[in-house]
Structure formats: C-alpha cells, structure tokens
C-alpha cells in the first residue's frame, strides 16, 4: 500500500510539473496570439479576395457586375508564358539588389560617421535625415525632376561648372539604364535615413570594452568593425535587408512618376509598373491579381533566407 501511495504521489508531482512547464511554454504564444489574430483578420479577407479574383476573368464588365467568370489557373498560365514577365522579373531582381546593397552600405557608413561626430553636429545631421525620411515620395520626385531637368537642371549646371564634362542640356533619361539609375538614386536617398538611424541605434549595443581591447591589440578599424561590431549588429542588418527587399522589389511610385507615363515601355518595366499596366491600364484585374500573388510568393522566397538566419541567431543568443 505504501509503495502504491508513493508511486501515485510521484505521478501527481510529475503531472503538476509537466502542466507547469506547458503553461510557461504557452505564455509567449498566448501573448503573440492577439497580434496574429488581428493581422489575420486584417489581411485574411484581402488575400482571399485576391486569390479568388486571380482565378477569374475579371475585366471592366465583370467589375460593374461585381461577379467574375471562373477560369481556373488561366491567368497564371498567361503570365508565366509571357516573356515580358520574365524579363521584368530579372530586371527587378537586379534593380532591387542594387538598391538594397547601396542603401545598407551607405546607411551603415553614415551610422558609423554619426558615432564619431560631436553631439551638436550629430543632432544636425540626424535632423536632416529625419527631414529626408519625412519627405513624401511625390514631392521627392518633383525635386528630382527639377534637379535633373534638361533645360535648367541644377545637376547639369553643377557638373558643368566643376568641369566634370559638358552637361549642357544633358538628358538623364535617354536610355532604360539611365532612367532606372536615376530612380535608384532617388530610392536610396529616401531610404538612407531609416537605415542610418536604425544602425546607429544598434551600434550603441556594441560593448566598448571589446572595441577597446581589439584596438589595444593593434586591430585596424576595418578589422574591429568586421570582428567586433558587425556580429553584434547582424540581427538588425538582417531585418533591414528583409524590409528593403520588400520595399524595393514592389516599388511603384518613384519609377512610375520619375520616368513618366509617356516614357514607360516594356524595356524599363519593374514589377510594380508591370502589375499596374497589366491590371489597371488594360483593365484585366484577374491577370493583375495573378501577378500580385506571384510577386508575393517571390518576395516571400527572397526573404526566407534572412528570416531563417534571424531565427538561428535568436536560438544561439
């Protein structure tokens, strides 16, 4: 009897411990659940509607009737067999990679510069960055148009006065490459403040003892950054990379307005412009929905590498 009672007591204690551990393990999920529920409620129906429309023939007539004709995966088939889609996708991947790389490199350099500046100069530079970040894209496009104007653009005037070359009435938008290059300068300029300020905040978490120890050991500045600073700020860099991929892959406002509707061709399409032209200009909303879903899948595939690395870093720390 005593043995049976002891066994029952141990089993009860083990059960209470298991329930306690289960409860503690469920706390993080319970805290995150409301956020996930709200996001699911906000995004669930639009994504469902997007998928539903992508499986239908949905033009202007169907839009007026609020009812499309089911055609299955036909829209996806036409998009995937369209050579313009694949050329646009490749162009957008290269464009996004260039934008992300330039933004992260230049933004990190600005953040490293902010660390070395005096307080009042740092506040002045930070204030300028905030003003850039708060500038609406449409306003920024107008400023860029004025600066690169063929007739009286300030860029042409400055380059000519500095004897860099004869840029009198030079047109910066003659080729698709030059058009996208100007769009890149605009996007990078607008994205630098967020990256620079975020990296600057991350630099405050770098232990100064490790930096001083590396400097005492004779390490050069670039070695200190690679061996001490970069490992600490890597999680922030990964987050910024994922966000930049999301923004730059689907960018629309800056290239469409800066290049101009009259000069938009299949040779300078980006995925955002391709979606707009196919879905709205041609009033083929089913095809546009299919392109949107394909873009969503591609962006998710591009971001999964960085998300997995962030998870691994979280598990190590």
- CA angle at 312 for the pair 37 and 231, rounded to the nearest 5°: 120
70: three-class secondary structure by DSSP:
strand
Locate tokens 């061709």: which residue? 265
Give the pLDDT confidence score for residue 315 in this predicted structure: 53
* Higher pLDDT, residue 25 or 55: 55
Give the pLDDT confidence score for residue 14 in this predicted structure: 52
Domains of the chain by range and CATH?
83-316 (1.10.3720.10)
Q: Does the pLDDT value for residue 225 go beyond 90?
A: no
Contact assessment for residue 106 and residue 251, using Cβ atoms and an 8 Å cutoff: no
How would you label 22-37 residue by residue, b for 16+ Cβ within 10 Å and e otherwise? Answer: eeeeeeeeeeeeeeee
Q: Give bridge partners of residue 181 from the DSSP assignment.
A: none
- Tell me, rounded to whole angstroms, the distance of Cα 196 from its chain centroid: 15
Instruction: Report pLDDT digits (tens) over 6-29.
Output: 555 555 555 555 555 555 666 667
DSSP category for residue 1: -
The residue-averaged pLDDT of 66-95 equals: 91
Spatial distance between the Cα atoms of 214 and 197, rounded to a whole number of angstroms = 25
The residue-averaged pLDDT of 163-191 equals: 89
Contact assessment for residue 71 and residue 160, using Cβ atoms and an 8 Å cutoff: no
* Cβ-based neighbours of 213, under 8 Å, separated by 6 or more: none
The residue-averaged pLDDT of 295-305 equals: 84
Q: Does the pLDDT value for residue 85 go beyond 90?
A: yes
Give the pLDDT confidence score for residue 186 in this predicted structure: 94
% of the chain with per-residue pLDDT over 70: 87
Spatial distance between the Cα atoms of 129 and 9, rounded to a whole number of angstroms = 65
Give the pLDDT confidence score for residue 100 in this predicted structure: 94
* Higher pLDDT, residue 204 or 219: 204
Q: Residue 162 — very low, low, confident or very high, per pLDDT cuts 50/70/90?
A: confident
Give the pLDDT confidence score for residue 2 in this predicted structure: 47
Lowest mean pLDDT among 92-101, 179-188, 267-276, 306-315: 306-315
Give the pLDDT confidence score for residue 8 in this predicted structure: 54
Name the helix (H) or strand (E) containing 250.
none
Rounded to the nearest integer, the mean pLDDT of the chain is: 83
The residue-averaged pLDDT of 146-165 equals: 86
Q: Does the pLDDT value for residue 119 go beyond 90?
A: no
Give the pLDDT confidence score for residue 21 in this predicted structure: 59
Spatial distance between the Cα atoms of 257 and 246, rounded to a whole number of angstroms = 20
Spatial distance between the Cα atoms of 216 and 133, rounded to a whole number of angstroms = 38
Find the Cα–Cα–Cα–Cα dihedral 68, 71, 75, 80, rounded to 10°.
170
Contact assessment for residue 266 and residue 87, using Cβ atoms and an 8 Å cutoff: yes
Lowest mean pLDDT among 32-46, 78-92, 238-252: 32-46
């Amino acid at each position: 009897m005593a043995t049976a009672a002891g066994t029952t007591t141990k089993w009860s204690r083990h059960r209470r411990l298991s329930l306690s551990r289960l409860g503690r393990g469920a706390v993080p999920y319970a805290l995150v659940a409301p956020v996930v529920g709200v996001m699911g409620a906000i995004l669930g129906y639009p994504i469902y509607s997007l998928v539903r429309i992508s499986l239908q023939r949905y033009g202007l007539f169907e839009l007026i009737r609020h009812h499309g004709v089911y055609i299955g995966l036909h829209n996806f088939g036409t998009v995937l067999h369209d050579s313009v889609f694949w050329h646009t996708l490749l162009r957008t991947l290269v464009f996004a990679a260039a934008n992300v790389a330039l933004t992260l490199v230049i933004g990190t350099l600005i953040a490293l510069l902010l660390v070395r500046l005096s307080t009042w100069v740092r506040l002045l530079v930070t204030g300028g960055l905030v003003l850039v970040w708060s500038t609406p894209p449409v306003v920024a496009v107008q400023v860029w148009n004025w600066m690169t104007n063929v007739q009286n653009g300030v860029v042409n005037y400055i380059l000519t006065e500095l004897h860099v070359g004869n840029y009198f009435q030079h047109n910066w938008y003659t080729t698709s490459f030059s058009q996208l290059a100007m769009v890149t300068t605009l996007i990078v300029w607008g994205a630098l403040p967020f990256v620079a300020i975020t990296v600057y905040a991350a630099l405050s978490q770098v232990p100064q003892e490790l930096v001083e120890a590396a400097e005492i050991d004779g390490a050069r500045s670039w070695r200190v950054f690679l061996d001490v600073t970069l490992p600490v700020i890597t999680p922030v860099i990964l987050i910024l990379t994922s966000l930049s991929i999301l923004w730059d892959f689907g960018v629309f406002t800056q290239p469409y307005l800066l290049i101009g509707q009259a000069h938009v061709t299949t040779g300078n399409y980006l995925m955002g412009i391709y979606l707009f032209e196919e879905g709205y200009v041609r009033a083929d909303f089913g095809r546009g929905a299919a392109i949107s879903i394909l873009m969503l899948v591609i962006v998710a595939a591009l971001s999964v590498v960085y998300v997995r690395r962030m998870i691994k870093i979280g598990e190590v720390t």
